Chains A and B, each alone.
Chain A
Amino acid sequence: MNLWQAFKMAFKSIAMKKTRSFLTMLGIIIGVASVVIMMSVMQGQAKKSMEMFEKLGENKITLYLWAWDGGESAQRVTDYCLVLGDYITGITPNAEINDTVTIQYGSKTIKTNDWENFDWNSGTDPWSTMLHVYLGSEQYGICNNYKLAGGREMSYLEVEKGLPVCILAAGAKEQLFGFTDPVGETITLNGDPFQVVGYYKPMDIEYRPEMDNLIVIPYTFNRTMNNNYDMNEYAIKARDAQSTVQAMTRLTAFLNGMFPMNADGWRENGDFRVSSNNSAAENQQKASMMQSLVMAAIAGISLLVGGIGIMNIMLVTVTERTREIGIRKAIGAERSSIITQFLIEAAVICSIGGLIGIGIGYVGTMIAGKLMKDVFEGMILVPDTTIAIGAFLFSVVLGIIFGMYPAIKASGLQPVEALRAD
């Protein structure tokens, strides 16, 4: 008996016993489909949660400083950061001008922090539309992971000398200039002219929409435009993950010395906080990993249950078909022919079930993506091909393993014993 014949027999047998074949397939279909859907959703989720960290940039240290002595301590900290040159590549103040600033370009006039006139019934989120003026250094872009879309960053001299230049984030550029090139144009902030030297690409961070609505000017304007308020937030870019830890340790030690704690646990001169995204990102990654493992275990169990279903059906099939096996043996079927027939039958059922499972898995993933479109905003859920193929192969291998035992059991009978079965 050749293989082709065995395949034909297997197909015939599957077609003859439709209900039985369908029930066998069902286990595999559910198993494979649930694996594909679960893994896809989980991967989408993990990707989504890491996306924000990726956009914010790695190795970014945020330093909050609350000093009661004016700008002096801030200057000491930034000076100290020069000592940390081995570990960090940039530092910038990241302070907003909290008073309302009137921005004008041509006939357009936009006010920042204009809460009084904000139309709360408009349905828009003020954070995603309202503009903000920030004070920063020439390293503002590097430290905050902005990428230039056109023009250049501010220069060291422009910042140090307090020249009236500015950089626009994508949203601010769009609100003021639409699709025209802003580089070289002049806008006015509270009537003072500022020349636009560059603009950034969109950050598109779901939880930080305001990051796209900034106008950054040299921090040296703090005195003239911000009433010389303390600048209490700094963004520091470290060279790598290791440097981030080193820089944070040293900064913390330095600041502990600057703002000593008294016996009551209070810092009398001021307070600070040093944090980085790295640990948060790592935690997120660990959480995703844990989630993956749990999901993979659940998926594995559903596949296993499907496999056990196949085993049961195959065992029942053998009992049910022992007589047929007896007849086949009586008219000259070799043991190998019968094993081959059963194996192919199992493999074919599992393959068909697996393929249907993948199909349902793909459709299910799309549906899941639609249903959870709030979670996966702007992202299309696509099932992972590797996982789909893996689940498929797994189901076929399961089918062969579980198909093997009954086939061996059935073919080992003496023909007369098999014929006696009813």
Chain B
Amino acid sequence: MLIDIRDLYKIYNEGKESEVRALDGVSLQIDRGEFVAIVGQSGSGKSTMMNVLGCLDVPTYGEYYLDGNDINSLSDKQLARIRNREIGFIFQGYNLIQELDALENVTLPLIYRGVSVFDREDMAMEALAKVGMDSRARHRPSEMSGGQQQRVAIARAIATSPPIIMADEPTGALDSRTGKHVLEILRELYRGGTTILLITHDDGIAATAKRVVRLSDGKIVSDSQQEVEWE
């Protein structure tokens, strides 16, 4: 079991009138090598779910085991390590650092990982090549299109070869053609054995995943396997 959450709550303004239960008692198990889409309307708690699963946020209550480790018991430093080595993030808004060029952005996680100067540039170039962006290595984000920026962001996510990729609306800001390209890259990663978590509100996008978890008002309303046409 790679991801194992039990009875997870994320409550904002708890006890006040404005209390919001973004996650309201969620339990979910995901195995290594799965391709899971988490689907829901906006406000359903799917982004909160990804933030908690990705150790970007802490749950209010509940247990979370990642690869057998109890996340609640880990230190800040250990969490940083997990974000660096276990999980690769792809965000809707790309979240590239504007002052750095594509190569430097992709190199960043390798720097934090402590990869030597001699290896990390090669590794970063390799990751850029995988998403077809090696020719744009010296371009800044402002000099690239949305699709190109998202591909750089994917390169950054896969640079450390993490076992899990979490993508939050990765195609949300892209037109359908570049969106399809991004999904193709995700499928490619899945075929290589990476566990993919795809968060989306779009059922069409969710159709690309082999398992669909539907969220509504912070609760899981359905969890089903499905046939996919690309396999």
Chain B residues, Cβ within 8 Å of A337:
112
Docked CA distance A331–B58 (Å): 16
The answer on a CB contact under 8 Å between A333 and B95 is no
Cross-chain contact of A328 among B56, B81, B108, B160 (Cβ < 8 A):
B108
Q: Which of B56, B80, B100, B109 contacts A419 (CB 8 A)?
A: B56
Contact of B112 among A324, A326, A332 (CB under 8 A): A332
B16 at the interface (CB under 8 A from A): no
- Rounded to whole angstroms, the CA-CA distance of A13 and B99 in the bound complex is 8
Q: Are A335 and B76 in contact (CB under 8 A)?
A: yes
- Residues in A whose Cβ lies below 8 Å from that of B99: 12-13, 16-17
Q: B81 CB to closest chain A CB, in angstroms?
A: 7
Shortest distance between the CB of A2 and any CB in chain B (Å): 8
A residues within 8 A CB of B76?
Answer: 334-335
**Interface bits B92-111 vs A (CB < 8 Å: 1, else 0):** 00011101100000001101
Interface centre among A330, A414, A415 (most CB of B within 10 A): A330
Contact A332 B57 (CB under 8 A): no
Contact of B84 among A2, A13, A331, A419 (CB under 8 A): A331
Q: A16-B99, A324-B97, A419-B95 are in contact. Are A331 and B56 (CB under 8 A)?
A: no
Chain B residue with Cβ nearest A334: B80
Most buried by A among B80, B113, B156: B80
Interface 1/0s, chain B 60-75, versus A by CB < 8 A? 0000000000000000
Which B residues from 98 to 137 make CB contacts under 8 A with A? Answer: 99-100, 108-109, 111-114
Total interface residues in chain A, CB < 8 Å: 26
Among residues of A, the one whose C-beta sits closest to the C-beta of B50 is A416
Complex CA–CA separation, A17 to B84 (angstroms): 27
Question: Quick check: B83 and A329 within 8 Å, CB to CB?
Answer: yes
Residue of A nearest to B106 (CB): A331
B51 in contact with A416 (CB, 8 Å): yes
**Residue in B56, B96, B114 whose beta carbon sits within 8 Å of that of A415 in the complex:** B56
Docked complex: B153-167 residues within 8 A CB-CB of A? 156, 160
Q: Contact check, B58 vs A1: say whether CB atoms are below 8 A apart.
A: no
**Interface check B85, CB cutoff 8 A:** yes
The answer to whether the Cβ of A5 comes within 8 Å of any Cβ in the partner chain is: yes
Tell me the nearest residue of chain B to A6, going by C-beta.
B111
A327 within 8 A of B: yes
Interface residues of A in 300-348 (CB under 8 A from B): 323-324, 326-337
Which residues on the B side are within 8 Å of A12 (C-beta)? 99-100
**Residue of A at shortest CB range from B57?**
A416
Q: Given A332-B109, A416-B56, A416-B57, does the pair A327, B97 have CB atoms closer than 8 Å?
A: yes
Show 18 residue pairs from A and B whose CB-CB distance is below 8 angstroms, ordered by the A residue.
A1-B114, A13-B99, A16-B99, A327-B95, A331-B83, A331-B84, A331-B108, A331-B156, A332-B160, A333-B80, A333-B112, A334-B76, A334-B81, A335-B80, A415-B55, A416-B56, A416-B57, A419-B91
A contact set with B: CB distance below 8 Å: 1-2, 5, 12-13, 16-17, 323-324, 326-337, 414-417, 419
A-B pairs with lowest CB-CB distance, top 7: A332-B84, A16-B99, A415-B56, A331-B109, A416-B56, A416-B57, A334-B80
